[in-house]
Structure 1
């Protein structure tokens, strides 16, 4: 069979810039240096256009981080008109909190510095993540301008974000531990903080997004499963209530019959909710 056909261009192609080093941090027992990396999905540069960037943080209980694990899913957001930057951060075997947050802020400063290369609109940064990564997204959303968390290179560039979108994210480590249906993951909060959260209110408060909510807090879209046995949905509700009481633009979607890290979060309906919220608020 031989045919001649005309093809209409209805969608753009995507580049993958994989495993880019964004920072150097202490390595083995402080005696070496290791790289922190991120991967970027971006459209073919067919026109001189800048795009909002979704800075994504994967989950893993702060115990294991695979920053490339969701790239196949995140490409669907890229097709909606976003740059995707999926970021590695140190796990709690390597550093206690706030090391994870300082890593995230270093990644954002790197992206702003190199925005021209990656087609990024420097005024449109969205922090989004799941579970432990959702905690990261929340912490970024409430700590704009908190200088003590900006450590490392590129300090002349801002680490601020404009929106936060936590998916079933940890809020208060103490209430997450106490409210979980299972105690199988209780150890992750001790590993994150360096102490049991109930033994150190100061450390717990430092890692609790509720501590920082103020007039500089960005709009939040909170997604949480009704049947989450790992991170209690009531913590997502507490975050929403605190945002509302401070008159911060915020939406909370509770997904019925949905658990932790559920496939339902990757459905088109959720993508539409996320994209609509971003377009409304940025």
Structure 2
């Protein structure tokens, strides 16, 4: 909590599927002195789909976190099952269930259900992109039975997320992070890789994207973000790609003032 402004209210470890699984928890941070319904940023952590938790990525994004609160947004950070616990689409089932919970309990926490945005990092960027892009296609395999599908996303901020699983150097290896995600080497099972790749779901009805990637990323190639950005452009979806000069896969370079300016300009434009 020390990275959040004084007065931030935390509702921690909420079981969004009403079960006891530790990976089915989310945290809600409400901005100080909130009045009326507030927009919501849904934070999806990274970690190769097999590590970290709902606090991950916050440590190097401290100023962005604080600014989210100062701007009067709520923040919800969600956990999801690792690929070592359950293969794809388990992660989509979990994330969509978490968003369904946030939608159904919006009045309790003061969220404006017309102003939901996604922000994800690495594997979380992949999941945020998947959530934003697939929502309008009503993919039944991505939703738990009985959960609400009424929600929609107005904006997606994708930090260096994979866009096409077949483009990884490790796509020939079933033990690579992307292989573990789908349960097979992506190049051996391009059908499974396609279902788990954001580029497969791009269409004209998708929400606007802001994509941010490090120039020197040696874990997820910047080409992944270039590809997604280009597909969005081809389909006429508002999109912007920022390649951060000299930046690696993650770190404080993504919390720079010019990046924050771009993020909040984007959010304020699309969450009016």
TM-score where L is the length of structure 1:
0.86
Alignment counterpart, residue 73 of structure 2, candidates 82, 97, 104: 82
Aligned to 2:128: 137
User: 1:71 offset after TM fit, Å?
Assistant: 4.7
Equivalent residue in structure 2 for 1:204, among 188, 193, 197: 193
Distance in 2 separating the partners of 1:125 and 1:39? 16
**Distance in structure 1 (CA, Å) of the matches to 2:117 and 2:264:** 11
Structure label with greater radius of gyration: 1
Alpha-carbon distance, 1:140 to partner: 1.0
Q: Which residue of 2 aligns with 1:13?
A: 7
Q: Counterpart in 2 of 1:213?
A: 202
Q: Which contiguous aligned blocks of 4+ residues in structure 1 show a shift greater than 6 angstroms?
A: 183-186
Match of 1:57 in 2: 44
Q: Which residue of structure 2 lines up, in the alignment, with residue 256 of structure 1?
A: 245
Q: What is the RMSD computed on CA atoms of the aligned residues?
A: 2.3
Which stretches in structure 1 are left out of the alignment for 5+ residues? 1-10, 26-32
| Cα distance change of structure 1 residues 132 and 23 upon mapping to structure 2, 3 Å threshold | same
SS in 1 for 2:163: coil
> Compared with structure 1, are the counterparts of its residues 240 and 226 closer, same or farther at alpha carbon in structure 2 (3 Å cutoff)?
same
* TM-score of the aligned structures, taking structure 2 as reference length: 0.89
1:39 aligns with 2:27: yes
On the 8 A contact 1:42/1:83 being kept in 2, the answer is yes
Relative to structure 1, the CA distance from residue 184 to residue 211 in structure 2 (aligned partners, 3 Å threshold; closer, same or farther) is closer
Q: Contact between 1:214 and 1:246, CA under 8 Å: does it hold in 2?
A: yes
Deviation at 1:268, TM superposition (A): 2.9
Q: Residues 235-279 of structure 1: CA distance to partner in whole angstroms, max 9, x if unpaired?
A: 100110110011100000000000101211122322221110011
Q: Structure 2 stretches of 5 or more lacking a match?
A: none
Matched with 1:190 is 179
| Secondary structure of 2:228 counterpart | helix
Aligned equivalents of 1:39 and 1:66: distance in 2?
11
